[in-house]
Chains A and B, each alone.
Chain A
Amino acid sequence: DAGVIQSPRHEVTEMGQEVTLRCKPISGHNSLFWYRQTMMRGLELLIYFNNNVPIDDSGMPEDRFSAKMPNASFSTLKIQPSEPRDSAVYFCASSLPQGVNTIYFGEGSWLTVV
């Protein structure tokens, strides 16, 4: 079975450019999570959706970051404009409804902003 699929796997972009990271959750999962991993701060939860609705975006660092989930099978995390300090690994994860507590992670999107 296909797991959580993220794209791109690696991206190098110039400061000021818009970056869009994509995630396809596992079919049937109704919760989706975006995480950012940096050396300084470890793995941080940015935002999570339940049934395509953003539930908690308190982890989103600033207004340059936005996330959408237009349907149950697709989500995007956008950074506009990007800055060098946004360089990190961004993980997407999905899970089954509450009470079935298994979460699956994508392989991550490695972002470098120069």
Chain B
Amino acid sequence: SQELEQSPQSLIVQEGKNLTINCTSSKTLYGLYWYKQKYGEGLIFLMMLQKGGEEKSHEKITAKLDEKKQQSSLHITASQPSHAGIYLCGADNTGNQFYFGTGTSLTVIP
């Protein structure tokens, strides 16, 4: 089965600081997805990466997929309290199955 490890498990940062969340797979990824979940709410799709070396940005959030397609990083620039929540990476390993990472809880202190 697919295993996705996220690090760190939790993160507390001061507003305005930059941060990075990592997602590492035990297998080559067919597609890598990033989601955000606010506490008590559903999943919000952030972005999807497919190609090795691909990088995508949305507002102050940038995600990269490494060349070997086994690791992805999510970088938030100048964090704000609205960025707080749980960040989850998800992966499609064959086109048929989709697994989630262990999750990273982000707290942004005003």
Which residues of A come within 8 Å of B, CB atoms? 31, 33, 35, 42-45, 48, 50, 55-56, 58, 91, 93, 95, 98-99, 101-108
| Chain B: interface size category | 20 to 34
B92:A101 contact, CB within 8 angstroms: yes
Q: Do A45 and B97 form a contact, CB below 8 Å, given A101-B30, A101-B31, A101-B92? A: yes
The 8 closest A-B pairs by CB, nearest first: A98-B95, A43-B100, A107-B42, A101-B31, A105-B43, A101-B92, A108-B42, A42-B103
Q: Chain B residues with Cβ under 8 A from A108's Cβ?
A: 42-43
Q: Chain A residues with Cβ under 8 A from B90's Cβ?
A: 103
CB < 8 Å A-B pair total = 51
Among A43, A44, A58, A107, the one with the most B-chain Cβ atoms within 10 Å of its Cβ is A43
A105:B42 contact, CB within 8 angstroms: yes
Among B43, B90, B103, the one with the most A-chain Cβ atoms within 10 Å of its Cβ is B43
B43:A91 contact, CB within 8 angstroms: yes
B95:A101 contact, CB within 8 angstroms: yes
Bound-complex Cα distance A105 to B92 (A): 14
